[in-house]
């Protein structure tokens, strides 16, 4: 299970070093096989899945009806843009230039452990997301009952 927030530097070759605290978890969860793709809900963010988790997500998304526009968008952003990545000997993974450009990820980014996957945010988009305040209307469906 991945959790936590880590400031990340993207090097000149478009690589990020997986934080040492996650390296053993990543190796155990997926044998260092990861999949990076777009987050279909937030433009400034990429998803980074362990391979086994990715296969389940991919199959669910591909099962959606292709005749529905929303399904097609999910398929394009998640499955069509997916790239396999593996850490090198120094624990670095390459983030495709097209993915970095589309999400505005430059030198500084934020890696969030989100349970079964990571989210990689541009620093600016992450800060904007943090500053966004949830309203009571946003917290419907029983979320107000959470003991945070």
| 113, part of any domain | yes
| 100, part of any domain | yes
Candidates 125, 124, 120; CA nearest to 85 is: 120
| 67, part of any domain | yes
What is the pTM assigned to this prediction?
A: 0.89
Average confidence score pLDDT of the chain: 91
Q: Please check the confidence at residue 140 and state whether its pLDDT lies above 80.
A: no
Q: Please check the confidence at residue 131 and state whether its pLDDT lies above 90.
A: no
- Structural domain that includes position 47: 2-126
**3 state SS for 50-117:** EHHHHHHHHHHHHCCCCCCHHHHHHHHHHHHCCEEECCCCCCEEECCHHHHHHHCCCCEEEEEEEECC
Q: Domain with 86 in it: what CATH number?
A: 3.40.1550.20
Q: What pLDDT, in 10s, does the model give residues 74-114? A: 999 999 999 999 999 999 999 999 999 999 999 999 999 99
Q: Please check the confidence at residue 49 and state whether its pLDDT lies above 60.
A: yes
> With bands split at pLDDT 50, 70 and 90, how would you rate the model's confidence at 30?
confident
Longest dimension (CA), the chain: 47
**Cβ proximity of 61 and 68 under 8 Å:** no
What pLDDT is attached to residue 130? 86
What pLDDT is attached to residue 133? 67
> With bands split at pLDDT 50, 70 and 90, how would you rate the model's confidence at 146?
low
What pLDDT is attached to residue 29? 84
Domain count, the chain: 1
């Amino acid at each position: 299970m991945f959790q936590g927030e880590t400031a990340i530097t993207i090097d000149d070759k478009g690589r990020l070093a997986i934080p040492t605290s996650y390296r053993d978890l990543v190796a155990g969860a997926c044998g260092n096989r990861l999949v990076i793709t777009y987050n279909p809900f937030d433009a400034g963010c990429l998803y980074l899945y362990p391979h086994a988790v990715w296969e389940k997500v991919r199959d669910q998304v591909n099962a959606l009806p292709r005749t529905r526009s929303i399904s097609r968008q999910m398929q394009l952003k998640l499955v069509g843009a997916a790239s396999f990545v593996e850490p090198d000997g120094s624990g670095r993974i390459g983030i495709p230039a097209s993915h970095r450009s589309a999400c505005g990820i430059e030198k500084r980014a934020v890696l969030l452990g989100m349970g079964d996957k990571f989210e990689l945010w541009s620093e600016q988009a992450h800060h904007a997301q943090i500053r966004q305040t949830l309203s009571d209307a946003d917290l419907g469906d029983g979320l107000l009952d959470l003991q945070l």
